Amino acid sequence: MASKARHTDRRTDALSRERIVATAVELLDAAGADGLTFRALSAELRTGAGAIYWHVANKSELLGAATDAVLAGATTVAEATPEAEVRALALGLFDAIDEHPWLAGQLAQGPWKSEALRIFERLGQRVQALGVPGPAQFTSATALMLFIVGAASQNAANAANAAELRRAQPDASRTALLAGESTMWEGLDPGDYPFLHDIAGQLREHDDREQFLAGVDLILAGIAALRPQA
């Protein structure tokens, strides 16, 4: 009887790689990479682990497929200029990591990992289209890659920390949290912390996405300076 009950509890619609990956993304969003196990995935899909292994060999492959699925839309850009394409690609990654914080860990493993490699290739093609001399192309593309992934990942970490604080203080908004941090900076000894003391007000008022794009523009301005002058 118990065996029959377990059987009828299972999903009757066909199991596909696409559905496995979509469910994996949901688990990753809810619990991070550590929470993605084949046991948890089997429970969500109401099937046996063997059926999942028929479509996905291991967790590494599953993480790669989930990353590809999330990045597919975020990194597909077609803009009028290479600079605009870099900005669009950067903002797509920023928003994707903000929505799916576990992406940061996948992309931070270096440009030799397949998902990061494709992003690095796209950035490199835009650098080449900007007319950067060959010897400076690697450094230019690397600077963009490190800033985009690093800054977007830090933003996601900041958002997670803020969410944790809000759970402890339900009435605390992002504005209130930044105001509190800004006030703390303003209270620092200006002799020891002259820079933080001076920019405390900017912390209170800044917009994360605008600040991120301003950083991308700073790097693009540096890259533009590398081009041979006509």
- Radius of gyration in angstroms for the set of CA atoms belonging to the chain, rounded to a whole number: 22
What confidence score (pLDDT) does residue 115 get? Answer: 77
Flag whether 134 is in a domain.
yes
What confidence score (pLDDT) does residue 77 get? Answer: 75
Do 57 and 116 reside in the same domain of the chain? Answer: no
Domain boundary among 37, 67, 97: 67
Flag whether 217 is in a domain.
yes
Do 21 and 96 reside in the same domain of the chain? Answer: no
Flag whether 230 is in a domain.
no
At 222, which amino acid appears? G
Domain extent for 35: 2-67
What confidence score (pLDDT) does residue 105 get? Answer: 85
Residue 96 CB contacts under 8 Å (≥ 6 apart), including other chains: 70, 71, 74, 103
Long-range Cβ pairs for the range 27-30 (8 Å, 24+)? 28/63, 28/66, 28/100, 28/102, 29/99, 29/100, 29/102
Q: Across residues 60-70, what is the average pLDDT?
A: 90
Q: Across residues 126-141, what is the average pLDDT?
A: 94
Q: Is the pLDDT of residue 2 over 60?
A: no
Do 45 and 86 reside in the same domain of the chain? Answer: no
Do 48 and 99 reside in the same domain of the chain? Answer: no
Helix spans in the chain (H): 2-9, 17-35, 38-45, 49-53, 59-74, 82-99, 103-107, 114-129, 134-168, 174-186, 194-205, 208-224
Flag whether 97 is in a domain.
yes
Do 47 and 98 reside in the same domain of the chain? Answer: no
Q: Is the pLDDT of residue 73 over 60?
A: yes
Residue 153 CB contacts under 8 Å (≥ 6 apart), including other chains: 97, 104, 107, 108
Q: Is the pLDDT of residue 183 over 80?
A: yes
Q: Is the pLDDT of residue 177 over 80?
A: no
Q: Is the pLDDT of residue 203 over 80?
A: yes
Residue 169 CB contacts under 8 Å (≥ 6 apart), including other chains: none
Report pTM. 0.80
Do 145 and 162 reside in the same domain of the chain? Answer: yes
Number of domains in the chain: 2
pLDDT digits (tens, 9 = 90+) for 94-116: 999 889 988 888 887 765 667 78
Domain boundary among 40, 67, 94: 67
Q: For 30-34, 63-67, 76-80, 189-193, which range has the lowest pLDDT when averaged over its residues?
A: 76-80
Domain harbouring 49, CATH code: 1.10.10.60
What confidence score (pLDDT) does residue 6 get? Answer: 39
In the structure encoding, which two tokens stand for residue 124, read together? 């490199």
At 30, which amino acid appears? A
Do 38 and 122 reside in the same domain of the chain? Answer: no
Do 19 and 112 reside in the same domain of the chain? Answer: no
Do 83 and 58 reside in the same domain of the chain? Answer: no
In the structure encoding, which two tokens stand for residue 160, read together? 């997670």
Residue scoring higher pLDDT (228 or 13): 228
Tell me what percent of the residues of the chain surpass a pLDDT of 70. Answer: 86
Residue 26 CB contacts under 8 Å (≥ 6 apart), including other chains: 44
Do 115 and 140 reside in the same domain of the chain? Answer: yes
Confidence tier at 12 by pLDDT (50, 70, 90):
very low
Average pLDDT for the chain:
85
Domain boundary among 29, 48, 67: 67
Do 203 and 142 reside in the same domain of the chain? Answer: yes
Flag whether 229 is in a domain.
no
Q: Is the pLDDT of residue 15 over 50?
A: yes
Flag whether 156 is in a domain.
yes
Do 93 and 182 reside in the same domain of the chain? Answer: yes
What confidence score (pLDDT) does residue 169 get? Answer: 67
What confidence score (pLDDT) does residue 88 get? Answer: 93
DSSP 8-state assignment for residue 207: -
What confidence score (pLDDT) does residue 129 get? Answer: 94
Domain harbouring 89, CATH code: 1.10.357.10
Exposed/middle/buried for residue 119 (C-beta within 10 Å: 0-12, 13-18, 19+): buried
* Distance from C-alpha of 92 to C-alpha of 86, rounded to nearest angstrom: 10
Q: Is the pLDDT of residue 10 over 90?
A: no
What confidence score (pLDDT) does residue 114 get? Answer: 76
Flag whether 118 is in a domain.
yes
